[in-house]
Amino acid sequence: MSNTIKSINPYNQEVIARYTLNKKEEVFSKLEKADEVFKEWSQKDVSERAELLYNIGNILEERLEELSKLITLEMGKPISESKAEIKKCIYLCDFYAKNAEDFLADEIIETDAYESFISYDPLGVVLAVMPWNYPFWQVLRFAVPTLTAGNTALLKHASNVSGCALAIEEIFTEAGYPHGCFQTLLTNHDTIEEIIKDDKIKAVSLTGSEKAGKAIAKAAGENLKKTVLELGGNNACIVLEDADLDKHIDTIVKARMQNAGQSCIAAKRFIVTENIYDNFLEKFTKKVAALKQGDPLNMDTEIATLAREDLATDLQNQVEDAIKKGAKVVLGNRQNKAFFAPTILTNVTKDMAVFTEETFGPVAPIFKVKNLEEALQLATDSRFGLGTMLFTEDTEAAMHAISRIPDGAFFVNEMVKSDPRLPFGGTKASGYGRELSREGIHEFVNIKTVFINK
């Protein structure tokens, strides 16, 4: 097994950098350091820990161009989207800097005690296993609340964004966090599963595939470690006959095509009522066809490349499965190495992979249904439960549908997206636990009951 990994630009296949993997003893040394630093870090006042978040935000702002380019070079998203990702991380830091003290404050509970309250205490070392599709956002939305709560963190990032992983560690150090408070591990999954067994690891957070989630959950469960899992999604985008297409079509296109469709919460099944179907298909196809393709380093590029060639091949196989079973290609279905053209499919049925599986790329299967009831039945017919979006002018009817959607999120007249102010996570095969908001910072704390009598 090689002791090095390569970072490859998916747009032109050039090798950007090579990194030497940490030896197993180095990984355990970093774990030891994280546990040692926790003892001091956890005793700092929440306000002191939160204040450092402003430093992170300032560094991200100062290095916006450099860090955005690194994201684009390593995983291929358009530079405009990379900049938006960094800016979202800045907002995240600002949100928790202003709210963490309130989120972690003791909560007084009236009982028969002289005094009783809930105390939110940090757990210790938390391990994060993170994906490549949002290489800064996914990590920081874990790390910012987790560290601010008083934990320390170890990061196993996707190997193709190792440059981003090391840059994030450098940012925490530059921001004034104690050495060892946040560390990157350049290692393989076998070593990760091994360190999960160590008593110093108190919890694990993973964002990634269902397969990876099951492996990590099994290792953590066997060792009674808390986990938060944000896994795949197969989000439905319901478009009802009264939807204002002129107002919302850009949002609907973005819901599928942002980051070349490489998002867990992207719209992956378009369910459109029959009275608006033809109009929707015409407008949607026109907008998708007009997306500017090209070099991801150009600011006007809207669709560039997938992160790896094998991902494009997997997507091609899913599309070919649909075609064999009767789907019609309205647009696209063209692969060139890691590039996959934006693709629209009609005549789609429930036995196709594009319905039953997660499609991680710019492929939009469109289903025709009679009404809202049929749309809801189709939307909820999924192993996944990350989010559903519904477009309609009848928001009152949409409100009545909330209880019919078993997902972690339900967005009306907007694409499903993460926001620091709102909890984020899924149900069913999309995982469990929540990130962001008050709920996210409480995932990796000991919610301790304190009861005092004189």
Query: How long a stretch of residues is the chain?
Result: 454
Task: Kindly state the DSSP code that residue 198 receives in the 8-state scheme.
Answer: S
Would you say 34 and 153 are in contact if contact means Cβ atoms under 8 Å apart? yes
Cα gap 292→252, rounded to integer Å: 17
Cα gap 423→201, rounded to integer Å: 24
Tokens 């774990």 locate to 31
Cα gap 254→235, rounded to integer Å: 14
The answer for residues whose C-beta is within 8 angstroms of residue 271's C-beta and 6 or more apart is 236, 237, 238, 239, 367, 369, 375, 378, 379
Phi, psi of 64 (to 5 degrees): -55, -50
Structure tokens at 234: 């197969």
H-type helices in 22-161, by residue range?
Answer: 24-41, 46-62, 64-75, 79-103, 137-148
* Strand pairing class (201-207; 182-184): unpaired
User: Radius of gyration over alpha carbons of the chain, in Å?
Assistant: 23
Local structure of 445: helix, strand or coil: strand
Which residues belong to the active site? 230
79-103 vs 137-148: helix axis angle to the nearest 10?
10
189-196 vs 24-41: helix axis angle to the nearest 10?
40
Would you say 41 and 181 are in contact if contact means Cβ atoms under 8 Å apart? yes
Cα gap 429→231, rounded to integer Å: 7
